[in-house]
Copies of this chain bind each other. A is one copy, B any other.
């Protein structure tokens, strides 16, 4: 029996990120070299992408190209940029995704533009009120999926419940966890702890069909409190960036002088340990959950490894049909709740 399924086509914004095509393109190609079951479609300025492709000996690889004459600057107002720059990689890739010419979009460009383009072009899944950014945080025990990492600064308890459902479906379908635990980021372990939002959300999660593990305090996150960690995009963004800040703090500490040689050596050795365990590159990018398609938002400082991992992550999500699964989960829950 032959399969007529075509290989997934993963759109990669070749221009996005701090380092441009010189990092995005070889990073994406590396995924193919490592056997990722997909084609890579590079969206960007052909004049800049071609030389990188030529230097990459990509002849035998499944690479396609879509020339984009425009681009969205990192500081542009997202919705206006998406409307006003139809020939930018993010907008062209999202349009092609909507028309099923590609199956996923990977970009290290503006996070706001990625969210806006996903919403305006792909649209929300029918039962999803708002999409959320899901970010993996490495922990002592493995990893925790933080939802939302910044797409929704203002939320409701019902919205947080939907984030928990989307995160659970993701962990089940993409990570193979049968019954992922859900934690609520909060300032104490008791159900009565927190602000009004947290207290009401605690009740909704407890009464839901989810595997709710209770509140998780800030100091418990990195130890590994739960598979999914639910919070609003304001708190989630600050919690994530505090972690980033610790890394910066250590670098500055080393630079600021006054450290003994053994201490500097200690810092360096320590850095390698942390890099191995506590590194966004491992995960490649953050999936946007709740939109009608696969959108992977990469860090602006993404390296080649990050792009490689992001392409592989996109392939996994396409392979299991993640958007449809999330849509079904949310629709089932909406029916249950009548």
Residues of A in contact with B (beta carbons under 8 Å apart)? 139-140, 150, 153-154, 185, 187, 193-196, 198, 217-223, 232-235, 237-246, 248-250, 252-253, 256, 259, 262-263, 265-273, 277-278
A245 neighbours in B (Cβ, 8 Å): 218-223
Report Cα–Cα, A233/B235, bound state, in Å.
11
What 8 new A-B contacts, CB under 8 Å, besides A140-B256, A223-B245, A243-B246? A139-B249, A187-B233, A218-B237, A220-B245, A223-B249, A265-B266, A267-B269, A270-B270
Instruction: Find A242's partner among B195, B242, B256, B266 (CB 8 Å cutoff).
Output: B242
Report Cα–Cα, A248/B221, bound state, in Å.
10
B195 with A218: CB separation less than 8 A: no
B248 with A219: CB separation less than 8 A: yes
A265 with B259: CB separation less than 8 A: no
Minimal beta-carbon separation of A116 from chain B (angstroms): 15
A241 with B269: CB separation less than 8 A: no
Count identical subunits in the complex. 2
B266 with A273: CB separation less than 8 A: yes
A235 with B234: CB separation less than 8 A: yes
A237's nearest neighbour on chain B, judged by CB, is B187
Minimal beta-carbon separation of A322 from chain B (angstroms): 26
A265 neighbours in B (Cβ, 8 Å): 266, 269
- Contact A150 to B267, CB < 8 A, known contacts A232-B195, A240-B218, A252-B140: no
Report Cα–Cα, A317/B234, bound state, in Å.
34
Minimal beta-carbon separation of A3 from chain B (angstroms): 41
A218 with B239: CB separation less than 8 A: yes
Instruction: Find A238's partner among B140, B150, B218, B263 (CB 8 Å cutoff).
Output: B218
A267's nearest neighbour on chain B, judged by CB, is B270
B267 with A185: CB separation less than 8 A: no
A246 with B246: CB separation less than 8 A: yes
* 22 examples of A-B residue contacts, CB within 8 angstroms: A140-B249, A140-B253, A153-B195, A153-B198, A154-B195, A195-B234, A218-B237, A218-B240, A218-B244, A219-B244, A222-B246, A223-B245, A223-B248, A223-B252, A239-B242, A242-B242, A250-B270, A253-B273, A259-B273, A262-B269, A263-B270, A266-B270
- Contact A153 to B266, CB < 8 A, known contacts A217-B241, A239-B242: no
A150's nearest neighbour on chain B, judged by CB, is B187
Report Cα–Cα, A271/B217, bound state, in Å.
23
A269 neighbours in B (Cβ, 8 Å): 262-263, 265-267, 270
B238 with A185: CB separation less than 8 A: yes
Report Cα–Cα, A91/B262, bound state, in Å.
48
